[in-house]
Amino acid sequence: MHVARNLILATLFAAAPLVYAGSAQAAGEISCKMTFELHGWSAFYKKAEGTGNVTCSNGQSMSVHLRSRGGGLTFGKQQIEGIGKFSGIFHIDEILGTYATGGAHAGAAASANGTVMTKGNVSLAMSGTGKGWNLGVDFGKFTISR
């Protein structure tokens, strides 16, 4: 009798993480949006910093720091304000981390920017407008932190 009970308890404890993971996925994907401001420059090396505010459909929100680093054939200076939309999110903390980026950009006086980036199963599409001038093709990383 004790052996059977211990076997049942061991099976339940072993399966508990699977049940928890399944319930997190069962909660469903949430939609998250980010308003942001970025400012930076590029001369072969590209550098930008900024801040953002993320809000999600489940009521979660978070203020974030944004950092972009990269390189390529790129020149300019710009200040951008815009919005980003995340996909593949089940909890707001999944937005944090480093995303792979790549793209082309051009602008004079009034600048526009759009890019899509990924981090595992999470994607972020960003678009914005602002001031500055820029021209080039670049690649790099985009980091979102608290």
CB neighbour list of residue 59: distance below 8 Å, 6 or more residues apart: none
- Is residue 22, in this structure, part of any structural domain at all? no
Give percent above pLDDT 90 in the chain. Answer: 49
- Is residue 25, in this structure, part of any structural domain at all? no
Most confident among 5-19, 105-119, 126-140 (mean pLDDT): 126-140
Name the domain count of the chain: 1
Q: Can you give the pTM of this predicted structure?
A: 0.76
Q: Which two tokens stand for residue 75?
A: 């020149």
53-96 per-position pLDDT tens digit: 999 999 999 999 999 999 888 888 889 899 999 999 999 999 99
- Is residue 106, in this structure, part of any structural domain at all? yes
Q: How far is CA 33 from CA 2, 81, 90, in A?
A: 53, 14, 13
CATH of the domain at 43: 2.40.128.480
19-57 per-position pLDDT tens digit: 434 434 446 999 999 999 999 988 888 899 999 999 999
Query: Which uninterrupted H or E stretch holds 14?
Result: helix 2-26
* Domain with 86 in it: 30-145
